Structure 1
Amino acid sequence: MSTQRLSPPSAFVRHAVLLITGALILIPFVWMVSLSIKPPGEIFRASFSFWPEHFYGVENYTRALTGSPLPRYMLNGVIVCAAILALQIAICTPAAYALAKLDFPGRNLLFALVLIALLLPHEVLALPLFILGAKLGILNSYAALVFPYVVSPFGIFLFRQFFKTIPDDVVHAARLDGFSELAIVWRIMVPMALPAIIAFGIFSVVSHWNSLFWPLIAVSDQTLMPPPLGILVFKNEEAGNDYGPLMAASTLVVAPLIVAFLSAQRWFVEGLTGGAVK
């Protein structure tokens, strides 16, 4: 298939728009890192400079790590995000396979319900989920942070779209070899859909690592708080109006997400575009 080359003015405009958009997105992060290495006297100056006159990064990052149990908050985030992602893959993958490759009554209705669920903000379900958590007695625990997210409509949709691109002959051949439907899912479909799983994993981890609303009402024990809620407590109890340590804590919380995304960006793009082929 032939590709159409853009004229030089069109290419210039496109790249200019991309650069401006990228700069606008990066400005808050650059400002956050800059404030994290500045002393209090330089934070509220009218003129902005990225590098401070007096480097204060050691003091700010030391206070961020010692003024609150930030390592504990980040460990909680790892535990919660890993548990959510593992359960989501375990549940969403067979569901997506059924919607993509199995023919049964009500399949289209179920897929329509998945699409409707995509439109519902999670905050709408906060009250019934809170009541359900209270009835089950799991509030103020890791289970309270995990169970509302184990079924992901976006995960089912993304995996279903990717599975649709896999030829049916592959599934038929596996059945002739004696594979059960679950064996087909885990031994054939999942390895072939690895880019989609990695892309979904990045979405899932970023979303739940940064989640604040549900943890704010689900847990009150500081030993269970994820990073965003921990930073909120750190701001109220330790940092006060001293934004240097607060920005240092925020930088430490954001850094793992940036590293993870940069490490998996090739699979991320491939996973998102793979389901758009069909």
Structure 2
Amino acid sequence: MKKHFRSKSLYFILMPILAFLYLSPFLYMLLRSFLRFDQASLFNYSPTLFNYETVLTGAKFGHYFLNSLIVLVAVLFANIFFSVPVAYAFSRYEFPFKKLLYATVLLSLVLPYHIMLFPILNIAVKTNIYDTLFALIIPFALNGFNVFFLKRYIDALPEDLEHTARVDGAGEFAILRHVVFPLTRPALAIVAINTVITTWNSFIFPLILTETSKARTLPVALSYFSQGAYATDWGILMAASGVSSLPLVLIFWFFQKQIINGMTAGSLKE
């Protein structure tokens, strides 16, 4: 009994400390975003909305935000639309070069993604989509992790409903729409959150695949916020970072139940 009490007490002591350490960078960003450039210290704190007004009314922040949102929605829709049929094909069908193609999917998970940077850049230039939003959407319409995760999830699903649907005369597209998509909904929550995080925070690819501000996204734009005339204006940079991270915070807040269900969905067994 005493051992259980001690372990429980240790848990309640350590968890707030760990939570504070984990959240401290975000808290510092939030506090610093309300200080002007000439207020370098958090002591003698005098908050102001000047930095947020500067970010939201100038420097094309709305344009960069809209670009990021367009890319995010397009990549998210494409990944959900294409990943399920591809994963279903790998799970249920036999076709030529299946093992080789699936090995390519697995290889994409272990290789540094920067290896694909210059081939994608070369293709974007030759197809005249360089410095456009298409260059940030088309190469990322399918993600290896999403295919792998959904394939493993579909492997664990019983095939009875699919066989019943075929007996009733349903075609493969009808089975995908009415059977596979509904059954994979918990796993799609993980696919969606993985796609949202990687797309919204992507920096290297938008930096290389864009040249002008017309197709620039928020992470790349933030690097320009840090370039002051003589020194970095940390207040404006922190305010811009706070606004750019707000969509991810809201997504986690409103969809935390679906995210948790999706994370535990991989334990399904036949």
Unaligned runs of 5+ in 1: 1-5
2:21 to 3, 6, 24: 24
Q: Which residue of 1 aligns with 2:71?
A: 80
1:16 CA displacement: 5.0
Q: Deviations over 1:127-156 (max 9, x none)?
A: 111111111111000111112211211110
CA separation of 1:109/1:22 partners in 2, compared to 1, >3 Å: closer, same or farther? farther
RMSD: 2.2
For residue 37 of structure 2, what is the amino acid of its counterpart? P
Is 145-154 or 9-18 further displaced after alignment? 9-18
For residues 235 and 271 of structure 1, the distance between their equivalents in structure 2, rounded to whole angstroms, comes to: 37
TM-score by length of 1: 0.88
Q: What is residue 267 of structure 1 aligned with on the other side?
A: 258
Q: Contact between 1:117 and 1:153, CA under 8 Å: does it hold in 2?
A: yes
Distance 2:245 2:196 in 1: 12
Identical-pair percentage: 30
Match of 1:124 in 2: 115
**Aligned amino acid, residue 37 of structure 1:** F
Match of 2:243 in 1: 252
The answer as to 2:133 corresponding to 1:136 is: no
Q: CA offsets per residue over residues 217-265 of structure 1, 9 Å max, x none?
A: 1112212111111111232268952211111111000011100111111
State the AA in 2 paired with 1:216.
L
Confirm or deny that 1:54 pairs with 2:18.
no
2:208 pairs with one of 195, 212, 217: 217
In 2: Cα distance, 1:277 partner to 1:20 partner: 34
In structure 2, C-alpha distance between the alignment counterparts of 1:254 and 1:146, rounded to whole Å? 20
Aligned length: 267
Distance in 2 (CA, whole Å) between partners of 1:104 and 1:14 is: 52
CA distance in 2 between counterparts of 1:151 and 1:190 reads 17
Match of 1:38 among 35, 38, 57: 35
Counterparts of residues 145-224 of structure 1 (less than 5 Å): 145-224=136-215
Distance 2:229 2:64 in 1: 15
SS of residue matched to 2:227: helix
Distance 1:74 1:240, change over 3 A: farther
Q: Distance in 1 between matches of 2:16 and 2:145?
A: 29
Distance 1:260 1:117 in 2: 27
**Any idea what SS the aligned residue of 1:42 has?**
coil
The 1-side partners of 2:98 and 2:268 are apart by 22
The residue correspondences of 1:106-121 to structure 2 (distance < 5 A) are 106-121=97-112
Residue 227 of structure 2: aligned partner: 236
Deviates more, 1:70-79 or 1:180-189: 180-189
The whole-number CA distance in structure 2 between the counterparts of 1:165 and 1:31 is 44
How far apart, in 2, do the equivalents of 1:198 and 1:16 lie?
A: 33
Indicate conservation of the 8 Å contact 2:67/2:216, yes or no: yes
In the superposition, the TM-score normalised over structure 2's length comes to 0.90
Query: Counterpart amino acid of 2:241?
Result: S
Which residue identity does 1:113 align to in structure 2? T
Distance in 2 (CA, whole Å) between partners of 1:238 and 1:171 is: 63
Per the alignment, in what secondary structure is the counterpart of residue 226 of structure 2? helix
Q: Report the residue type matching 1:54 in the other structure.
A: S
Whole-Å separation in 2 of the counterparts to 1:105 and 1:224:
39
